[in-house]
């Protein structure tokens, strides 16, 4: 008697329908490299671009991503058959918790991008579809350096963006290869341009040369004075120029900034009010440069972020306003004009780190503070800062399995 094959299960048919709706074929043999402590450094260091899926088998979002990730790998492999150009890899975080801890994985699935072994700050947060992931990799393979064909082009660069321009004798040189590697890493933060040969000759009076053109029309160029064959020095210089000390927070980058896990010091200002932003930037650089790494210095458009302003009982009409969001509470800097008081902004941040802002929230001003009315209130003049508003921009539980344990205890 001829046996009939069992019909596919409802779950299998459902997945097939979803894949068809997304315009996908049935996945073939995907080339996904499983990473462990023995091979991770070798694989990533030898890959031009690597997209790594940090997952857990029990996570339903990880389960949903697996077939999509595999099919995206198949499509990309057809376009970039060199296995060292693009690598799709995965890490089972339950089996390799040491790797998860190394890369600070706090949610599943997390897709991180690596270039030549270096993890990029911005992970993949786009749509979880084959088309979107494949397009993302294609964008990563686009040359980040635009070639200049005449010096007239230098005079017409967009000064609303940060531009780094390299002048090289030839493209096939160690100097340019270093520059190209730096451009690949910082492509989201700066515009990189390069001129070669006769076109660049007038700018190479002392050899290959790299300059930075800051924002603004009348700001002088800055010249890189280090060795172009030293990647670490070149990268550090370019990163300092491309990644501003005070960054703008938007709804597009809010999730990644929130996930860095350190408090925000935010200037809310009207977009056209560049004077208050410039003053804030100057005072942050003057008073708080040593706090870089323990707090994020940000500025936000008052109109776009009306809701956080309402949380601190402010409106765009009150801008400019400075506040700290600790991811527990929001605290308001007394008055923007207090920036003129030496050390006032720094003390505001120090009071956050020391716990004074939070302590006063519960118990009123410290006894050493001469707060008007404190004596009449029996020393219990407690402030009432609202709950954090920006923590709501963090990764969504409808998209990730968020780890509730401490990030150092994976």
Beta partners for residue 323, in sequence order: 266, 332
- Domain 246-396 belongs to what architecture? 3-Layer(aba) Sandwich (3.40)
Query: How do 209-213 and 222-223 pair as beta strands?
Result: antiparallel
pLDDT at site 12: 43
Burial annotation 101-134 (CB, 10 A radius, 16+ → b, else e): eebebbbbbbbbbbbeeeebeebbbeebebeebb
Averaged pLDDT, 4-21: 44
CATH superfamily of 10-141: Glutaredoxin (3.40.30.10)
pLDDT digits (tens, 9 = 90+) for 339-348: 999 999 999 9
pLDDT digits (tens, 9 = 90+) for 384-398: 678 898 988 999 999
- Do residues 281 and 313 make contact, with C-beta atoms less than 8 angstroms apart? no
- Do residues 116 and 58 make contact, with C-beta atoms less than 8 angstroms apart? no
Residue that has been written with the tokens 């897709």 in this structure: 111
Averaged pLDDT, 42-67: 96
- Please, which pLDDT band fits residue 16 given cuts at 50, 70 and 90? very low
pLDDT at site 17: 38
pLDDT at site 82: 86
pLDDT digits (tens, 9 = 90+) for 258-294: 998 899 999 999 999 999 999 999 999 999 999 988 9
Chain-wide mean pLDDT for the chain? Answer: 87
pLDDT digits (tens, 9 = 90+) for 131-148: 999 999 999 999 999 999
Beta partners for residue 246, in sequence order: 297
Averaged pLDDT, 57-71: 97
Instruction: Give the CATH class of 145-242.
Output: alpha beta
Q: Is the peptide bond before 109 cis (omega within 30 degrees of 0)?
A: yes
Higher pLDDT, 409 or 379: 379
Averaged pLDDT, 123-131: 96
Q: Is the peptide bond before 320 cis (omega within 30 degrees of 0)?
A: yes
Domain with CATH 3.40.30.10 in the chain: 10-141, 145-242, 246-396
pLDDT digits (tens, 9 = 90+) for 212-266: 999 888 889 999 999 999 999 999 999 999 999 999 999 999 999 999 889 999 9
Query: How do 163-168 and 191-196 pair as beta strands?
Result: parallel
Return all residues near 375 (Cβ < 8 A) that are at least 6 apart: none
Edge-to-edge strands of the sheet including 296-301?
246-248, 296-301, 264-269, 321-325, 330-332
Query: DSSP code of 128?
Result: -
The CB density around residue 393, as the number of other CB atoms within 10 Å, is: 20
pLDDT at site 408: 39
């Amino acid at each position: 008697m001829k046996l009939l094959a069992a019909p596919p299960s409802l779950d299998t048919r459902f997945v097939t329908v979803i894949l068809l709706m997304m315009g996908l074929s049935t996945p073939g043999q995907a080339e996904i490299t499983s990473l462990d402590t023995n091979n991770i450094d070798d694989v990533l260091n030898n890959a031009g671009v690597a997209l790594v899926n940090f997952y857990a088998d029990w996570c339903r979002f990880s389960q949903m991503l697996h077939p999509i990730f595999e099919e995206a790998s198949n499509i990309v492999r057809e376009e970039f058959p060199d296995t060292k150009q693009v690598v799709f890899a995965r890490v089972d975080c339950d089996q390799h918790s040491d790797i998860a801890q190394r890369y600070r994985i706090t949610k599943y699935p997390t897709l991180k991008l690596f270039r030549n072994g270096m993890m990029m700050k911005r992970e993949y947060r786009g749509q979880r579809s084959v088309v979107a992931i494949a397009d993302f990799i294609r964008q990563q393979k686009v040359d980040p350096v635009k070639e200049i064909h005449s010096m007239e082009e230098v005079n017409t660069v967009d000064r609303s963006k940060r531009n780094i321009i390299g002048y090289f004798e030839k493209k096939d040189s160690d100097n340019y290869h270093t520059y190209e590697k730096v451009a690949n890493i910082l492509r989201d933060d700066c515009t990189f341009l390069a001129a070669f040969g006769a076109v660049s000759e007038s700018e190479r009076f002392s050899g290959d040369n790299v300059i930075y053109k800051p924002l603004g029309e009348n700001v002088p160029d800055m010249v890189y004075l280090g060795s172009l064959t030293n990647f670490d020095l070149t990268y550090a210089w370019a990163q300092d120029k491309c990644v501003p000390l005070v960054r703008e927070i938007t709804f597009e980058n809010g999730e990644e900034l929130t996930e860095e896990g350190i408090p925000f010091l935010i200037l809310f200002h009207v977009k056209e009010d560049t004077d208050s932003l410039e003053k804030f930037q100057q005072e942050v650089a003057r008073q708080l440069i040593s706090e870089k790494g323990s707090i994020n210095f940000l500025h936000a458009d008052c109109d776009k972020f009306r809701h956080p302003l309402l949380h601190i009982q402010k409106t765009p009409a009150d801008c400019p306003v400075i506040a700290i969001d600790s991811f527990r509470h929001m605290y308001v800097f007394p008055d923007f004009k207090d920036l003129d008081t030496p050390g006032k902004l720094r003390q505001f941040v120090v009071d956050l780190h020391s716990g004074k802002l939070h302590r006063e929230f519960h118990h009123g001003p410290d006894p050493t503070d001469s707060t008007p009315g404190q004596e009449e209130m029996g020393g219990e003049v407690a402030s009432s800062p609202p709950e954090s508003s920006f923590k709501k921009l963090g990764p969504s539980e409808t998209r990730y399995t968020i780890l509730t344990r401490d990030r150092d205890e994976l």
